[in-house]
């Protein structure tokens, strides 16, 4: 029985999967769109949306001038950046997440990513898909 074992294993051990999700979320934030297999895309969506949500929750604080932030707001912002930093590797990508991606998606009530199927990969016929961040309404 496979009860309480959610998530795809994708033929990797847990450390490899964890590193792969971090790399993929970082690439998605950096480029806005990545191409991967359908199974990875569907699994990646959850990690990416949770990470983007962390940036959206503090978007109002990021919009303020640094001198105008209260101690509580500074604490919330630092905590959000550190938690998101566990998933997003790279200071430039983390900055982009909080200063570009988060503020653009504040009015969107979820569903920050889109998966578009693009057909089989030439080498092994694996079903491929694009995962992209939705910036429009």
- Determine the pLDDT at residue 135: 85
Region 98-116 average pLDDT: 95
Q: Is the pLDDT of residue 11 over 90?
A: yes
Task: Write the pLDDT tens digit of every residue in 30-44.
Answer: 999 999 999 999 999
Q: Domains, the chain, ranges and CATH?
A: 14-133 (3.90.1030.10)
Q: Is the pLDDT of residue 136 over 80?
A: no
CA gap 56, 99 in Å, rounded: 10
Q: Is the pLDDT of residue 113 over 80?
A: yes
Task: Write the pLDDT tens digit of every residue in 52-95.
Answer: 999 999 999 999 999 999 999 999 999 999 999 999 999 999 99
- Determine the pLDDT at residue 137: 60
């Amino acid at each position: 029985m496979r009860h309480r074992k959610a998530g795809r294993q994708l033929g990797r051990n847990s450390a490899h999967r964890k590193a792969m999700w971090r790399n993929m979320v970082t690439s998605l934030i950096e480029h806005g769109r990545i191409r991967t297999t359908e199974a990875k895309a569907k699994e990646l969506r959850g990690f990416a949306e949770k990470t983007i949500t962390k940036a959206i929750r503090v978007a109002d604080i990021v919009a303020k001038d640094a001198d105008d932030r209260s101690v509580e707001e500074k604490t919330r912002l630092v905590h959000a950046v550190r938690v998101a930093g566990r998933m997003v590797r790279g200071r430039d990508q983390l900055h982009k997440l909080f200063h570009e991606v988060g503020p653009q998606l504040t009015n969107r009530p979820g569903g920050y990513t889109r998966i578009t199927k693009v057909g089989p990969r030439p080498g092994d016929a694996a079903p491929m898909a694009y995962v992209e961040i939705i910036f429009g309404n």
